[in-house]
Structure 1
Amino acid sequence: MLRVVVLGAAAGGGVPQWNCGCPVCLMARTENPELRSTQASIAVSADGEHWYLINASPDLRQQLIATPQLHPREGQLRHSPISGVILTNGEIDAVAGLLSMREGSPFAIYAHPKVLSILKANSIFNVLSEKNVRRQPIAVNEAFEPDLPGGAPSGIEILPFEVSGKGAWYLEGKAHPGGNDGAGDTLGLRIADKASGKYFYFLAACAGVDDDLKSRLAGAPLIFFDGTVWRDDELIAAGLSTKTGQAMGHIAMSGNAGAIGSLASLDIGRKIFLHINNSNPALLHDSAERKMVEQAGWQIPADGTEIVL
C-alpha cells in the first residue's frame, strides 16, 4: 500500500507570495484564506511509518508542523519518520528545505549527479554532514529502492526518467557545477509499492508532453503533474515577469499543446496539478479556468491532502 500526503501544491513563493498583490494573493490574504498553499512537495510511504519526501521545499518546516504523519514519535527526544529525500531538480523550490533538516537526524538524499553537484558546489549545504546525511546518486531510467534506517529495504521502487525542462534558473548564464550537457536537471518519477504493485507518477516540472511521456503515463492510476501556469504568456500578461512558462521550463495547463489537452486521451485514473503559480487563475474556485480544470477531470489539492493506493 502506498500512502501519499500533499505537503504543498504551490510554485515558488507559495500562495500568497510575500511581495505579490495579484488577485489570487490578495484574496488569499483576505476573504479566501483557503487559497493559501505552501510550495510543492509530497511525502510517500509504503508502511505508514517511514516516509520519503519528494523534493524539500522552502516551506518544509511549516509543512512538517502541519502534517501529523511526519511528527517525531511520542516519547522520543529526537526522532523523525523521514528516511530520505528524493530530488527531481536543483531549483530553490526543491532543495532549500534541506537546510531545515540540519539538526542531526540521519536521512539520505537521492538525486541525479548533476543536482548533487549543485549541493556540493554551495558550501551552505555542508550543514548537512555527510556522516549523517548520505548523498546517493541516482541515474535516469535506472530504478532504485531507497533504504530504511539501518539499511533495510523500504519496499518502494522509484524509477527516475528524463522530462523536457531546463536547469535551475539561478544557473542561467553560468557554468553548471555538473556540466551543461546531458540529462539530469529535470526528472519525473514513477513511484511504486513493490508488494502491491500500486504506482503513481510525479512530475513537478515539465516543459512539454512528447510521445514517450504519453506512453509512460497512459493508464496510470494517479499522476501529479506540473500546473505552473494556465497560459504560456500568463506572467507577461499580468505584468509579473518577462518570461513565458516555456522559458521557465513549464508547460501551460491550457492550449493545444498544454497539459490538459495533451494528456486527455490517456485513461489516467486521477490527475492532480501541483507547482501552481500564484498568477494562475485556476486557483480561484469560481473562475472559468477552474471550471475547465475540473470538467477535464483534474484536481487542485489542498495542503495536507492524503491519498492511499
Structure 2
Amino acid sequence: MHIHVLGSGAGGGFPQWNCNCENCKGVRAGTIKASTRTQSSIAVSADGINWILFNASPDIKKQLDDFPAFQPARLVRDTAISAIVITDAQIDHVTGLLTLREHNKPWEIYCTDAVKDDLTTGFPVFNILGYFRGINHHEIATDQSIFTIPTAAGIEFTAVPLLSNAPPYSPRRDKPLPGDNIGMHIKDTRTGKSLFYAPGLGVAEPHVLEYMRNADCILVDGTVWTDDEMSKEGISNKRASEMGHLDQSSDGGIMSILNAMEKPRKILIHINNTNPILNEDSSQRATLNKAGIEVAYDGMDIIL
C-alpha cells in the first residue's frame, strides 16, 4: 500500500496568505529552517495506478501538479483519482471539490451522512457539482464496519468516529455527532499492514487509542503545540480544543499519547502555521525528534 502526503498543513497552509506570525514571517524571509506546506490531504493506492483521494483541499491544483502519478494521460481528459473519501466537512478539506468539478463522469465520493448533510445545506458543494457531472454518494457508516472501494483491491477501510467539532456553518457546531468527524483505519490485506489517519482529533477516546496502538503507522492531528497557541500570537482568542484539536505538549496531549505506544510509526499532520515545530531548529522540534515522532511534509511517501 502506497500513501502519498499531498498536503501537511492546517487550514490556510504555511505560510498563511495574511499571517505574519513568527513562523510565516520567517519562512518568507528565509530566516528559519522550514518548508512551505499546502492544506492537508493524502492519497492511497493499492497498485500505484488507481488512487483514493482523502479530502480535497483548496490547494488541490498544486497538489495534483506536484504528483505526476495523478496524471497518467491515457485520455484527452484523465486522472488517476478513482474515488474521494471525505473525513469531515471543514472548508480546508472540501473546497477543492469545486476545482475538480470538470471530471468526465460523476465522482465516487465516500462520506458519512452527517458530512453529506452539511455539503448539501450549509456549504452546498455537492449541489454545485450537480450542475457539472455530479457525484455518486457512498455512505460511510459510523459503526466501525469494514468497507471496500472497488478500485483499491486488497485494501479495507474502517471509519472511526472521532470527537472533534463540526464546521462553523453546521447546525451541529459545538455539539457534533459521531459522523461529523471520522478517522480512517486503512489495512492492506496482502501485507497485513495498516495506517490510522486522523487529521482532526479533539479527544482520544478508548476506541481511538486501540486503533492507534494496533496500526503500523499513524498520521494524526498535529495542529498546535499548545492549546492557547493562537491567542499567544494574537491571532484568535479560541483555544485549539474549542476547534476540535488536541495540542501536542500538554499532559494528555498528542505527544504523551504517542509516547505510550510502541508499535506504530508516528507522524503528525495538519500542522498549523503558528506551530513552532515547523521551525526545524526549534526546541519543540528537537523534543519531537527525541521522542521519535515525525512531522509530515508535502510530498512524503509511506509504503506499508
Q: Give TM class, smaller chain.
A: over 0.9
* Residue matched to 1:43: 43
Q: 1:33 to 1:67 in 2, by over 3 A?
A: farther
Between 113-122 and 11-20, the greater mean CA deviation after superposition: 113-122
Q: Which residue of 2 aligns with 1:135?
A: 137
Q: Superposed, which structure 2 residues align to 1:24-173 within 5 Å?
A: 24-31=23-30, 34-71=34-71, 73-106=72-105, 107-121=107-121, 122-129=123-130, 132-140=134-142, 141-148=144-151, 154-171=153-170
Q: Give the gaps of 5 or more residues in structure 2.
A: none
Contact 1:105 1:132 in 2 (8 A): no
Residues in 1 aligned to 2:33 and 2:125: alpha-carbon distance in whole angstroms: 34
CA RMSD across the alignment: 1.8
Is 2:196–2:211's contact at 8 Å kept on the other side of the alignment?
A: no
Q: Specify the SS of the correspondent of 1:200.
A: strand
Q: 1:279 aligns with which of 270, 274, 278?
A: 274
Which residue among 216, 219, 222 is the counterpart of 2:211? 216
Residue by residue over 1:191-226, the C-alpha shift from the partner in whole angstroms, topping out at 9 and shown as x without a partner, is 112322221100011112233222221142100000
Instruction: Work out the CA distance in 2 between the residues paired with 1:124 and 1:45.
Output: 26
Matches of 1:28 and 1:278, distance apart in 2:
10
Contact conserved, 1:232 with 1:245, CA < 8 A, in 2? yes
- Per-residue CA deviation, residues 129-164 of structure 1 (Å, 9 max, x unaligned), is 38652111111112111123xxxx633211001112
4+ runs deviating over 4 angstroms: none
Aligned to 2:262: 267
- Whether the 8 Å contact between 1:219 and 1:266 is mirrored in structure 2 is no
Post-superposition Cα deviations, 1:102-144, rounded to whole Å, max 9, x if no partner, equal 1123331100000011112244433423865211111111211
Deviation at 1:55, TM superposition (A): 0.9
CA contact (8 A) 2:126 2:135 kept: no
3-state SS of paired residue (1:184): helix
Q: TM-score, normalised by structure 2?
A: 0.93
- Give distance in 2, aligned partners of 1:237 and 1:132: 43
Deviations 1:217-258 (A, max 9, x none): 114210000000000111111111010010000000111110
**Shift, 1:282, TM fit:** 0.8
Residue 298 to residue 33, structure 1, CA distance change in 2 (3 Å) = closer
Note the C-alpha offset of 1:40: 0.5
Where does structure 1 lack aligned partners over 5 or more consecutive residues? none
Instruction: Indicate conservation of the 8 Å contact 1:16/1:29, yes or no.
Output: yes
Q: Which moved more, 1:258-267 or 1:210-219?
A: 210-219
Q: Comparing 292-301 with 125-134, which one deviates more in the overlay? A: 125-134
Judged with a 3 Å threshold, the aligned counterparts in structure 2 of structure 1 residues 75 and 215 are, in CA distance, closer, same or farther, namely closer
- Which of residues 297, 301, 304 in structure 1 aligns to 2:292? 297
Paired letter, 2:256: G
Change (3 A) 1:297 1:33: closer
Percent of residue pairs identical: 36
Counterpart contact for 1:220–1:267, Cα < 8 Å:
no
| Local SS of the residue matching 1:35 | coil
Deviation of the 1:99 alpha carbon? 0.7
Provide closer, same or farther for how the CA distance between residues 239 and 268 of structure 1 changes in structure 2, counting only shifts above 3 A: farther
Amino acid at match of 2:149: P
For residues 158-201 of structure 1, what are the alpha-carbon distances to aligned partners after superposition, in whole Å with 9 as ceiling and x for unaligned?
Answer: 10011121111233xxx349xx6731111110011232222110
| Cross-structure match for 1:242 | 237
Task: Give the match's secondary structure for 1:160.
Answer: strand
What is the total number of aligned residue pairs between the two structures? Answer: 298
SS of residue matched to 2:102: coil
Q: Give the structure 2 partner of residue 14 of structure 1.
A: 13
Match of 1:229 in 2: 224
Task: Determine the C-alpha separation between the residues in 1 that align with 2:188 and 2:64.
Answer: 23
Letter in 1 for 2:116: L
Distance in 2 (CA, whole Å) between partners of 1:134 and 1:195 is 28
Whole-Å Cα distance in 1 between the matches of residues 134 and 290 of structure 2? 47
* Aligned residue type for 2:237: T
Whole-Å separation in 1 of the counterparts to 2:255 and 2:191:
29
In the alignment, the residues of structure 2 paired with residue 212 and residue 78 of structure 1 have an alpha-carbon distance, to the nearest angstrom, of 42
Give the direction of change, closer, same or farther, for the CA distance of 1:128–1:33 in structure 2 (3 Å limit).
farther
CA gap of 1:158–1:294, structure 2 versus 1, over 3 A, is same
**Aligned-partner residue type, residue 45 of structure 1:** S
